[in-house]
Structure 1
Amino acid sequence: MLRLKAKYRITSRFAFFSVFVGFLFWSFFLDSHSYIAFKRHEKELKQLKRVHEQHRISIEKNRQRLKELSENNGDLEKYARERFYMKKRHEKVFVVMEE
């Protein structure tokens, strides 16, 4: 009888261990909230934060440029001519492209 209990004790330990390993495998690799998915989302979040910071800097530069252009009409005309190739009547504009 004692020998029979020892046999069941070993198999029950093995069963608990198997269930525990199976649970860890499931939670780390197969679940929708797995560790791999967590790392993937964390990487994506870091990338989105970098893009957000770049856009914030770009917006700040554009606000500064808009402020400068609204204060001085000479700069506004220069900016329009350079950027949008605007011209006055009876004026010819030549655009030189570098190769």
Structure 2
Amino acid sequence: MSVFKHKSKFLKPFKNVFIIILVVFIVWMLFFDANSWLIHHELNSDIDDLESQKEYYQKEIEKDKKAIKKLSTEEGLEKFAREEYYMKRDSEEIFIIEYEDSLKTTDNE
């Protein structure tokens, strides 16, 4: 009998119907409802990820705008063509010097 009296001490608040309804309501709202805390937490983490992606893409847009601004001038376009596509004028010769460690071989790929 003493075991039941000891347990009833802890279960005494749960004998009230209102407390039982409140506990069920809280559990329902935290875990099972369409607007539950778990879903809000997941959505907030998705928002944080999207905001970090937004910052990344804004930085990339700024870098691209700077590159476009450089390429819009005659000198910038010529520099790009010379560096990337090894273009030259008719009266020029181009010598490309590659170092051994910059060459792609099967050993250092």
TM-score range, shorter chain: 0.5 to 0.7
Unaligned 5+ runs, structure 2? 1-11, 89-95, 97-101
How does the TM-score come out when normalised to structure 2? 0.62
TM-superposition CA deviations, 1:61-82 (whole Å, max 9, x none):
11011111112x2331342455
Percent identity, aligned pairs only, is 29
**Aligned-pair CA distance for 1:86:** 7.5
1:75 is matched with 76
Unaligned 5+ runs, structure 1? 1-9, 89-93
Count of residue pairs the alignment pairs up: 85
2:38 is matched with 36
1:53 is matched with 55
How does the TM-score come out when normalised to structure 1? 0.67
1:17 is matched with 19
- Equivalent AA in structure 2 for residue 59 of structure 1: I
- Equivalent AA in structure 1 for residue 80 of structure 2: Y
**Structure 1 or 2: more helix by fraction:** 1
